[in-house]
Amino acid sequence: MGLSSLFDDLQLSSSSETPLSSQTLPPITEFLAELQKKLLNMLSYSETLHLIGHVANLFQTADPDWLFSPSSGLAELQVEYNAVVKALVRVAALPLCEDDYGSLPAATYQSIPYQAVTVCSALTALLETLGNRGVQTGIPLTIAPSVLVFAVTHFQDQPWTNSVSRAAARNLQEVLLRAGGWRDSGHLLTGENNGVLGKILDILQPQMTQTMWQRCEAVKFVYVWIVLQVTQPFLSPLLPRLLPASLLLTDHYKPENCILGVRCLHHIVLNTPAAELRQWNTAEVVYEALFKHLYTTDAAVIQPILWCLLDLLLVLEKPPCTPNPSSSPRKPCRHDDVLRLMLTNMEAEHKVALRRVYASALPLYVDRMGVAICRHMRRLDRVVLGYLEVRDPSEERSRLKVLRALQNMIRFAWPRMTSRADVVLRSLLKFLLDVSSDSDLDDSLKQRLMSEATLCITLMDCCCHGNLQSLLQQVEGSSCSSDVLRCLATVTGPIRESRAAVS
């Protein structure tokens, strides 16, 4: 049977269950070469999808001995299948932006989901027909880079996908893993014989350059997904290939791209040995790229930056609270630089979202600083006491976190707290009164706030060697509620408890 007549015979209905006889068919490599040419040279959109549908039917009905017969050797068979897969993937490729700073309207991607579903059906049919032959022929390993990049592109929840195409892409990914005997995507990328990560980076890196990555909107999502699947110890050997694109995303002016880059950098920091990050000043470069973003006012960007810096600082230096073997005083370090700028931003910040982000990170940074927090006491006092005065409905996350930061500060800097006792105690008492009289707070949240504030007062009393109890016992029952008196009773002892019972 000639190739032209074979393609005519592909006009089988999808309901046909009679497989083509392998005795009347040309060698599979010749057929695949011709199929690739037709897929690349067809100009009609409908004809291309029509052909792909029949190819899927062929993969399902043809004799597997013909489809995977290595008549000319396995290497040539793998090359031909890989070429066909690349041609199929190109059918559902996303259109490129004409410039490197714009984006395409959603209407541009209107036909992409249907094309992706059609290509998924053909690739899924091929991989399912492979079955147990996959490992023997080596075809799944050969086509895996192109198939995985295609699947990841189309299971993203983005304008070029819909629920049907996302489900088809997810199914294609699962079928690929089964065909190659891989446990999961991480095993596929970094498993036996170093996986396919290197080959996938060969596909993505030409598109992740400074002038190209913004022209295709999908490539950044695929790149980030791939990076997040790679863990220690497989990530560090590829650090020179992974880091540039991550820094490129982090440096972008659009918040959504910056966040993607920070996610990659944080993953790299967590999964690369500290010694390798310090080599060639790699950690220093990442630190500088992140630190400058602390000047932004976008809460969605600040949050991952603060968490990434918290882990990165441990790579660059020891925690400031680490005991110094020499008698010399502790020197200011990068921890101080980050906390100083963070407190400066917090002091003047009025946006609720940003206040919540800063307040959530503050206890962690205070805990990391340890006794070295004494260098920031004045500013930290102003920030903490200022945040306690401002409500944060409806969950009061800012004030809860700030109270915990205050507790850490008291524990670490207790020798310095005696001189601040009057100001801090006055603010905490005012906070208790405000919370107890706030009718908008539910009882459980009110109890949590008052408990945290009471713990702060207890810690302050310990720092002052019990000298606050005489001041607290002067609080009149007529000036505050019974809830406040009960909280203070936990500090002042049985005398206050009896007064609270009487009131």
Which string of DSSP letters, residue by residue, matches 273-331? -HHHHHGGGHHHHHHHHHHGGGG---HHHHHHHHHHHHHHHHHHS--TTSPPSSSSPPP
Q: What is the secondary structure of 202-249 as a DSSP string?
A: HHHGGGSSTTTTTTSTTHHHHHHHHHHH--TTTSGGGHHHHHHHHHHH
Name the token pair of 224. 């980030």
When comparing pLDDT for 468 and 387, which is higher?
Answer: 387
Residue-level pLDDT at 7: 59
Number of neighbouring beta carbons within 10 Å of residue 28: 23
Rounded to the nearest angstrom, the gap between the alpha carbon of residue 249 and the centroid of all alpha carbons in its chain is: 13
Same structural domain for residues 367 and 278? no
Number of structural domains (the chain) is: 3
Please indicate, yes or no, if residue 443 is contained in any of the structural domains.
yes
CB contact set of 17 (below 8 Å; sequence gap of 6+): 61
Same structural domain for residues 47 and 174? yes
Same structural domain for residues 308 and 349? no
Please indicate, yes or no, if residue 495 is contained in any of the structural domains.
no
Give the integer Cα–Cα distance in Å for 44 and 50. Answer: 10
Please indicate, yes or no, if residue 83 is contained in any of the structural domains.
yes
Given a contact cutoff of 8 angstroms between Cβ atoms, the answer to whether 130 and 136 are in contact is no
Which of 159, 174, 208 represents a domain boundary (last residue)?
208
- Domain assignment of residue 299, given as a range: 231-316
Q: Assess whether pLDDT exceeds 90 at residue 194.
A: no
Provide mean pLDDT across the span 391-419: 92
Per-residue pLDDT tens digits for 86-141: 999 999 999 888 876 667 888 889 999 999 999 999 999 999 998 767 677 889 99
Name the token pair of 238. 């590829």
CA dihedral 292, 296, 299, 304 (to 10 degrees): -10
Same structural domain for residues 180 and 237? no
Same structural domain for residues 302 and 179? no
pTM of this structure: 0.90
Number of neighbouring beta carbons within 10 Å of residue 276: 15
Give the integer Cα–Cα distance in Å for 370 and 207. Answer: 45
Give the integer Cα–Cα distance in Å for 89 and 410. Answer: 61
Percentage of the chain with pLDDT > 90? 59
Residue-level pLDDT at 6: 63
Please indicate, yes or no, if residue 82 is contained in any of the structural domains.
yes
- Sign of the C-alpha dihedral computed for residues 166, 168, 171 and 175 taken in this order: negative
Number of neighbouring beta carbons within 10 Å of residue 18: 7
Q: What's the whole-number average pLDDT of the chain? A: 87
Same structural domain for residues 5 and 88? yes
Q: Taking every pair of C-alpha atoms in the chain, what is the biggest distance, in angstroms?
A: 105
Provide mean pLDDT across the span 204-213: 90
Q: Which helix (H) or strand (E) holds 55?
A: helix 45-61
- Sign of the C-alpha dihedral computed for residues 342, 310, 290 and 299 taken in this order: negative
| DSSP type of residue 16 | -
Given a contact cutoff of 8 angstroms between Cβ atoms, the answer to whether 16 and 43 are in contact is no
Number of neighbouring beta carbons within 10 Å of residue 253: 8
Per-residue pLDDT tens digits for 52-64: 998 898 888 888 8
Residue-level pLDDT at 88: 94
Same structural domain for residues 197 and 257? no
Residue-level pLDDT at 176: 94
Give the integer Cα–Cα distance in Å for 264 and 255. Answer: 14
Crossing angle of helices 352-369 and 299-316, rounded to 10°: 10
Same structural domain for residues 267 and 408? no
Which residue's entry shows tokens 């607290």?
472
Same structural domain for residues 195 and 298? no
